[in-house]
Structure 1
């Protein structure tokens, strides 16, 4: 068998509901399924996932299945294991509860071959789990005008704004030789934030990378975009992981580069801070988490922070000064502002739906019938 064009690594745990959709999107790739090497790393799933994976391995020669001896509890370990078994010319990741457009890998592969980049990156679209065929949206970083054009064989010194783009390892097709020569790997044991370190290794080590403003990934969100939630149980460990990841990344970057990356780090943290879940934490826990954030924001550039976080900038300023009580009060205001905005947005959507119905032809045609029905009700 000739060398696969692309090795696709899937870290897998309890995804029997979604895995067929992800796998079928690989089967239907225009680059040709037989040109892919599919590496499934099962992290000791407890549902019916393993039986599905065994069927894939049985039915397709280019599917490799391995199961970890014990559950790692985080995607870093299965990704690292998968990276040790790649034989494709390029390597990419796919989370098993997401899926990809039919021509995603062909688009990335063509650019990689033409420009001989260390890695090629595309963009993603998010969709809501409860309504996959409904509203879809680009992450805010891909709405920026800078991300609406192509970049071929650039480096991070030429385009430093890529350091603040949403971390997404599944958007990057990486030359396998480059990956192995630089011994790239993920931080293990972290349920979130572990991909930031891998991502920043790519940007800082690559002599040349490319980006195309093409959608090559469909990302499933488990929370409605208009109703985000973060439980107290999840709040502390996820924020601590974000802080740990930021500190690991800081060791890779210059001071100036880190100031740009801080936007990336703060995006993850603000999603949790400006959230009712943070509001409901005990006072001591809030202060503890803000203290952990302090090293993350040290040395920030006010101009960069205000460019991306106009309303949240006072939070950064107060935390940097260790004015934690004032920061907590300002966070409360921001949570209220966000709540009212989201509720207003929902009401506006309801109004627009009603207006559309009232202006429809069917509503106008049935007007006489409604009048007749009302008259009958009165005469009873």
Structure 2
């Protein structure tokens, strides 16, 4: 309360037939009148409402699992009490899933007084998957899930996790789904920032973030063998969950906290950090994770301070402008011994710098092949014979 009032009003305002909706509410030990309001709402609502009241469980996983166990519809949608739906959200999402036979539907999310994911809303996708789109960067539970998918695989939220339980659940659904749909042209979900700032995802200590990253990385590894597809998905827990622990805040951490963070990260980096992941990252991300993998706290602190002070690295162009290095701290410092490749910007990052000429080894090889082909054809024409070009 009072966010719940507007949340439930947004469900009542849905354009889909009320007879096609069941509302299952779980009052997880509230002390602000939520339970009483839910009882009154259930008595007057046009759709069936189940009210479950229980002792506080300490997190969102337990209540969601209770609600999921009571659901009977073909689809389930997890709506947080402080958020709200767009009026046509359920109608559009159900129609999308029915039309395409997809198991998960993402409706566009918009933040209200808080940030929201953006990279996956470029265009509506009738059918996609976790490897062909940016949906891996929105792993909140606020999706439409085909209930049969969840039942078949016995999927539930991990009640041992204080944060990141929704990322684990949603990533598993993506990996198991027979197709995912994305609605990008209509805001289905409004992610509301609370005035008191008390979001579960913002609470708890740093060790809980490592618990979340560890669980998600183990899940991905359990579903995918080592290789490009695993590397693609591993970028998400590495950059979104683990990397912030080694950003500007690391410069302010005490020695014991720094030591503990590196200790927690070591088995994850040993198991999952690969050159394939490194190539997918921006230079400053790659540099920090390289130093985490190498367990170099003294170098990592100076990089963290550089970022905390919002300094910009010098850009160094080489090989006729085809290679661009970003000179973050310790670049070509013999004592540090960090390979130049860590500071080498990939084309998608390098394009922002004047003077960069996209090309590199692949382009040079193609040019050499074309030149060799022209020479062979010229030789063939001169001799009246034929020359094979492979």
TM normalised by structure 1 equals 0.71
Q: Which runs of 5+ in 2 are unaligned?
A: 312-390
Alignment of 1:201-216 (within 5 A): 201-214=172-185, 215-216=187-188
Alignment of 1:287-366 (within 5 A): 287-297=259-269, 298-302=271-275, 304-305=277-278, 307-337=280-310
Show structure 1 runs of 4+ deviating over 6 A. none
Shift, 1:302, TM fit: 4.3
| Partner residue in 2 for 1:242 | 213
Aligned-partner SS, 2:77? strand
| Partner residue in 1 for 2:232 | 260
Q: Which runs of 5+ in 1 are unaligned?
A: 1-15, 130-136, 339-380
Distance 1:330 1:248, change over 3 A: same
Aligned-partner SS, 1:169? coil
In 2, Cα distance between the equivalents of 1:261 and 1:123? 21
Matched, 1:43 2:21: no
Matched, 1:103 2:85: no
In 2, Cα distance between the equivalents of 1:213 and 1:24? 23
Distance 1:222 1:234, change over 3 A: farther
Aligned-partner SS, 1:251? helix
Shift, 1:281, TM fit: 3.1
Structure 1 or 2: larger helix share?
A: 1
| Partner residue in 1 for 2:123 | 149
In 1, Cα distance between the equivalents of 2:4 and 2:223? 35
Q: CA RMSD in A?
A: 2.9
Matched, 1:66 2:66: no
Distance 1:84 1:295, change over 3 A: same
Alignment of 1:73-222 (within 5 A): 73-128=58-113, 138-142=116-120, 147-156=121-130, 159-162=131-134, 164-170=136-142, 172-214=143-185, 215-222=187-194
Distance 1:304 1:76, change over 3 A: same
Shift, 1:28, TM fit: 0.6
In 2, Cα distance between the equivalents of 1:230 and 1:273? 17
- CA-to-partner distance for each residue in 1:235-293, whole Å, 9 max, x for gaps? 333343333443344323332333222222121333454354x5443211122122212
In 1, Cα distance between the equivalents of 2:78 and 2:15? 18
TM normalised by structure 2 equals 0.70
Structure 1 counterpart of 2:41, from 48, 56, 60: 56
Shift, 1:202, TM fit: 0.9
In 2, Cα distance between the equivalents of 1:98 and 1:192? 18
Shift, 1:105, TM fit: 1.2
Greater Cα radius of gyration, structure 1 or 2 = 2
* 8 Å contact kept, 1:88–1:176: yes
